[in-house]
Amino acid sequence: MLSLPSLPERLFCPSVSATPVVRRRMLLQMVGAVGLSSVVGAVGAQPPGPTASTWLHRASRLGALAQRMAKLYLQLHLKVQPDDVKAALSASQRLVQATLDDMTKVSWPADIAGHQAQVRKQAETLDGLVLVPATREGATAVATQADQMLVATEVLFHGLERLGKAPMHPLVQASAGLRMRSQRLAKSYFLQAAGQDMAGLREQRQADLDECKRIFSTLGAATVTNTSLRTELSAADMQWVFFAASFGREPDVRGLRAMASASERLLEIADNLTLQYEVALKDQRGAGTLSPP
């Protein structure tokens, strides 16, 4: 039996995160009311401990980690807090590897196994690129590869949704989307600072900014709430102000550092929100006060 704490669920290096790892592990042990056992069992497999929502969370998080790795590589290229960046990049690589390794312990249907193999292939390519000393050419290659891995993780995510017949709740999906977009937006900022104005970059940046605003509106209007969620949402609102303001700053040393710090903090808060919404929704379903999405 696979236990959830076997995964290093923490996204952040200790110098960046203020959230105790014990809290995060306890949340992950609580999330997910619907297992894949009945679905996967139909094809002769019995999944281990993680439930449907946990696998969806991990698949979604892989895309955010891909964007984070590209962002961190660009910081190395621009020499923005390089010592902290190396630790964070290494932690991201280990978490991607651990997540994929745990997925291989399940006898998935052929299509899911194929999607997972494609994510691993893209992750291994990205790993190889970020190991090369940071250069202008390398920055473009890493950014492009991170996007390819993101596409692969989205295919895996939707495959898991179809398999479990339990789509991710819109509130969880919104906060998970904020998690990924915070990193893609920061990556975009650093690409521009590095003089790499790739095709479609500005359009994607504006679309991500607009989507983040929509996400904040959705989460702010949600009736699913508790003290912890209100605290995290308040922190997210405040951090978004700093994050969005960073896009109006010149990419000088102070501007680059401001974006680096704001993007990491917003990632942490969005990750907390994703987990806490899963817990809150599980509790409400159990109390019979919320219909399944």
d(CA 113, CA 156): 9
Is pLDDT of 221 > 90? Answer: yes
Long-range contacts of 238-247 (CB under 8 A, 24+ apart): 239/265, 239/266, 239/269, 240/212, 240/216, 240/266, 243/182, 243/185, 244/209, 246/189, 247/185, 247/189, 247/205, 247/209
CA-closest candidate to residue 178, choices 250, 268, 106: 268
Tens-digit pLDDT profile for residues 66-116:
999 999 999 999 999 998 999 999 999 999 999 999 999 999 999 999 999
Angle between helix 253-286 and 170-193 (nearest 10) = 170
Q: What is the pLDDT of residue 49?
A: 52
Read off the amino acid at residue 135. Answer: T
pLDDT tens per residue, range 124-169: 999 999 999 999 999 999 999 999 999 999 999 999 999 988 789 9
According to DSSP H, which parts of 104-135 are helical? 110-130
> What pLDDT does residue 282 have?
82
Higher per-residue confidence, 167 vs 270? 270
pLDDT in the model for residue 88 = 96
pLDDT above 70 coverage of the chain, percent: 80
pLDDT of residue 272: 95
pLDDT of residue 284: 72
Using a cut of 0.85, tell me whether the model's pTM lies above it: no
Tokens encoding 136: 């202008």
Residue 290 has pLDDT above 60, yes or no: no
How do the residues of the chain divide into helix, strand and coil, expressed in percent and rounded to 5? 75, 0, 25
- Whether 100 and 161 have beta carbons less than 8 Å apart is answered as no
